[in-house]
Amino acid sequence: TAHIRAGLPLLDKKALVTAGPTFEAIDPVRFIGNHSSGKMGFAIAECLVSLGADVTLVTGPTAEKSNYNLRRVDVVSAAEMNEACLAYFTASDIIVMSAAVADYTPVQVASQKIKKADTEFHIALRKTTDILAGLGILKQKHQLLVGFALETENEADFAQQKLLKKNLDLIVLNSLNDDGAGFKTNTNKITIFNRALEKTVFELKSKHEVAADICKEILNLLV
Ligand code: CTP
Ligand code: CA
């Protein structure tokens, strides 16, 4: 297929994409998770493959499958996702972090199933490592780092703050406000901010179309 791939814009690029939720164990049968389906990250990874990139997809627990020629690395917890990202980051030119990583994880994992007892039950949680912020610190000149932001208020302000604080090149703001946008659905409504804090607003689209829009913005920054 070499003659078919020739001419693709990302032929000499390596990409790292994260997708899906993370599951943080409470005991052998329970975890803290979220509703992320992984669809957005898979669509981005596949779009980058179709543009010629060598793609590593680090994914949390998801029902998604891909027939594309990519390297899939399955992880469960935020800590495992961090380790996998660190392993592939240095060799990557394009990094897109679309996973919905848990912000907190149980301080202790019970070795046996926790028995019910009192009316109230509390779980002590500890902050996870912010994977994206860590990569922002490690980032070199040739690397393009893209993050996501999910906000329910002051959307633009909070997204721009994350872009600067985490040393990103682009941030994709996911709007949950419109019907049909966000977790579990097949559509998303996004706004992309760059380092000049210029914004591009997109219509509600399928996640595959949204992935194409994100990849186009990435290509624009590479030329
Ligand atoms: N992220 C990450 N590691 C974490 C938490 C988040 O890499 N432990 C990444 C997500 O993959 C996403 C970006 O950070 O690309 C923003 O995630 P979001 O939840 O919107 O923001 P947070 O920085 O976690 O802040 P908050 O949840 O308080 O808004
Ligand atoms: Ca968060």
Label residue 217 exposed, middle or buried (CB < 10 Å: 0-12, 13-18, 19+). middle
Q: For position 151, what pLDDT does the model report?
A: 93
Label residue 109 exposed, middle or buried (CB < 10 Å: 0-12, 13-18, 19+). middle
The pTM assigned to this predicted structure is 0.95
Mean pLDDT value across residues 75-89:
98
Distances (CA, A) of 136 to 33, 41, 44, 104: 25, 19, 20, 20
| Reported ipTM | 0.98
More confident residue, 178 or 183: 183
- Residues with a known catalytic role: 34
Q: Which residues contact 198 (CB under 8 A, 6 or more apart)?
A: none
7-39: pLDDT as tens digits: 899 999 999 999 999 999 999 999 999 999 999
Nearest of 85, 71, 89 to residue 18 by alpha carbon: 85
Residue 60 near ligand 1, beta carbon < 6 Å: no
Q: Delineate the domains of the chain, giving CATH numbers in brackets.
A: 2-222 (3.40.50.10300)
Residue 101 near ligand 1, beta carbon < 6 Å: yes
With beta carbons less than 8 A apart as the criterion, state whether 50 and 218 touch. no
42-75: pLDDT as tens digits: 999 999 999 999 999 999 999 999 999 999 999 9
Number of H helices, E strands in the chain: 6, 14
Report the separation in Å between the CA atom of 113 and the middle of ligand 2, taken as the mean of its atom positions.
Answer: 27
